[in-house]
Structure 1
Amino acid sequence: MPSRHPQEVEDLHFRVLKLLQDNPALSQRELARIVGVSNGKLHYCMKALIDKGLVKLSNFANSKHHLGYAYLLTPAGIAQKASMTGRFLKRKMEEYEALHAEIAALQAEMAGDHARSAESSTH
């Protein structure tokens, strides 16, 4: 069975790109909390996205006296997110189908167990 690591990395990158496209002012700490990874793992992810040219860090004024930062998707980042969307959806649909089949098998097994239990209690 192939390693899931590359898929997990791509899923994390996809989720971060999607979040940043919707809200570029999210901090790394907020992103880490939302996607459910450690701050260190998110920092490593952001560094990779910046190094690949998919995201750039930009300053913006969020008040009169303070500068904030925004993570903006580059044109390459927007294109990469679009191509990742199809692969992400395909993987999630495969996971859904596998889970659906597992649930159906368990339900059939439970129904068989109940039928055998009822049959043995009548004899």
Structure 2
Amino acid sequence: MGLYGIVHFMNANSADDHKLPDAIVLRLLDEVAKEPTVSQRALSDRLGIALGLVNAYVKRLRRKGHLKITTLPRNRISYLITPKGFAEKATLTYRYMDISLNYFKSARQIIEHVYASLLADNCRRILLWGDGEMAELCYISTRGLALEIVGVVSHSANGHDFFGKPVISPDMLDGLQFDAVLIASGDDVFNRLAYEFVSDRDKIHSLDSDRMELL
């Protein structure tokens, strides 16, 4: 997911403590809709949560009337999303899209504010730290501005490019000319590497993390 705060926002705004985290419920319903006989171990891998949690989610969805479970030969299970479950899935999908659109709109405004500050400081050549969705939005937001993305830093640089720009690892900064580094990643561990590999720390800029978390 993603971007900094969408999943966190959805989970934090559940109606009550007993409600399942919306993002996980939506993904689980998506998976069983695509593959009704999917195993719980496969769901665990796809959702990135513990096997025991998958079992708990499935049981609670069943109790809520969102899923029906049928036992098949050879100890296999088939999931059927009920009409009530499809209604819940549609509601969560709409909510996710609405939150996502509002998030991107607000994020774009924050990025434009940062770019205005960089331009005021005569920073033209920008190095993006991160190659995920937020970095993509940062790149798109340079259009029409006197800014150039000169490169992108990723912890998984493997020779691919980013909108035609080179993707490099943190240890490949030598010789690259840039006026500013813009942190565009939600990975705090990776972001801290910028302060190890960028010799002039005054060049490092970040999006307002407090405001991003509130989106």
Q: TM-score range by the shorter chain?
A: 0.7 to 0.9
Q: Which residue of 1 aligns with 2:66?
A: 54
The separation in 2 between residues aligned to 1:60 and 1:107, in whole angstroms, is: 58
Asked which structure has the greater RCO (Cα within 8 Å, sep 6+), the reply is 1
Q: Which residue of 1 aligns with 2:122?
A: 114
The separation in 2 between residues aligned to 1:83 and 1:90, in whole angstroms, is: 11
1:10-57 deviation line (CA, Å, top 9, x unaligned): 121111111211111222221122122222332222121111010111
What is the TM-score with the length of structure 1 in the denominator?
Answer: 0.74
Q: Return the structure number with greater helix share.
A: 1
Rate the CA distance shift 1:60–1:92 in 2: closer, same or farther, 3 A: same
Q: Which has the larger radius of gyration?
A: 1
Q: Return the structure number with greater strand share.
A: 2
> Structure 1 vs Structure 2: percent identity of aligned residues?
25
| 2:87 corresponds to 1:79 | yes
Please, what is the CA RMSD of the aligned residues? 2.4
Rate the CA distance shift 1:109–1:90 in 2: closer, same or farther, 3 A: same
- The number of residue pairs the alignment matches comes to 110
The separation in 1 between residues aligned to 2:54 and 2:103, in whole angstroms, is: 24
Shift of 1:114: 2.4
Q: Mark the runs of 5 or more structure 2 residues left unpaired by the alignment.
A: 1-10, 124-178, 180-215
Q: Mark the runs of 5 or more structure 1 residues left unpaired by the alignment.
A: 118-123
Shift of 1:59: 2.2
Paired residue secondary structure (1:72): strand
Rate the CA distance shift 1:54–1:106 in 2: closer, same or farther, 3 A: same
Paired residue secondary structure (1:114): coil
Q: Which residue of 1 aligns with 2:109?
A: 101
| Amino acid in structure 1 at the alignment position of 2:115 | Q
The separation in 1 between residues aligned to 2:75 and 2:54, in whole angstroms, is: 22
| Amino acid in structure 1 at the alignment position of 2:72 | F
